Structure 1
Amino acid sequence: MLFGSTISNNLKWELNIDTIVKKVQQRLHFLRRLRAFGLTTQIMLTFCRSPIESVLTFSITVWFGYTTVKEKLRLNRVVKTASRIMGRDLPSLELYQQRLLGRVILISHDSSHPPHDLFNLLPFSRLFRSIKTRTNRFSTSFPPSRTSIVKTKVIFLPSVVHT
């Protein structure tokens, strides 16, 4: 276990996904109980955001990029279960990219942050420079993959200025 996230010795995140799914399924029981008591959707949404979403998104910027399609389907399945219980649509794990964008913006604004130099804006542009990688493992790590994901999103953020 690494700071609340579980990683196996072969650097796979399967154990972490298993742990997350088990924790969320336990919390879904309480969401079902809230529905049985006839509470409003707003109260159930508040409950969903507190103990359920926090478990799903804990260190998501670290592990989500490495998950397989099967693992992403398992995670989205518990989100769909929660939305069925509540009777309203919940966002799937799309918030992963929102969290990445926020993390990249924070790092690019903080010149004392260690990977600050990895997030350089192109001259006369609001696009981040891509990082060249030689290995697939490094290309899916945080800085290289996040600059390519965030490229199209940063164009619309006027507050992102390289200092």
Structure 2
Amino acid sequence: MKPVIIRSFEDFEKYNGQEIGTSEYFTITQNQINLFADATHDHQWIHTDPERAKVEGAFGNTIAHGYLTLSIVPHLWEQIVQVTNLKMMINYGIENLRFAQAVTVDSEVRLHAKLRNVANLRGTVKAEVEVKLEIKDQRKPAFAGVLIFLYHFED
């Protein structure tokens, strides 16, 4: 799937209230989990100790940190939408985020996005995007919520 190209508020407005798309699947590896644990100083065994997680854990294996799954959103979002003609983009907020299901190591996930609302605030475009991180072959998503971005276009 080719990403949607957005160059202006008017381009965003065409997708207001609509599904925008879904990213490719992305595999969460133990190496990524370990690197995230190092970066955040969160070395809880359910993330970093595969042997203990298999024996004592509730999921039969290690799981990704919830915030690790959230942190891959920019990578997956760029597969859905490429915003060009930008001065700057700001992550403005997250509303109603719920981690619904653990992501076990080596799971494949993908981002699904719908543009809930877009507004032009005196030249700054505020985009509210409903997202869910789907886990391949699972009914429940890893998380769902609304991401809010501010886009400052060149023109």
Scaled to the shorter chain, the TM-score interval is: under 0.3
Which of the two has higher C-alpha Rg? 1
The answer to which structure has the higher strand fraction is: 2
Question: Which structure carries more relative contact order (alpha carbon 8 Å, separation 6+)?
Answer: 2
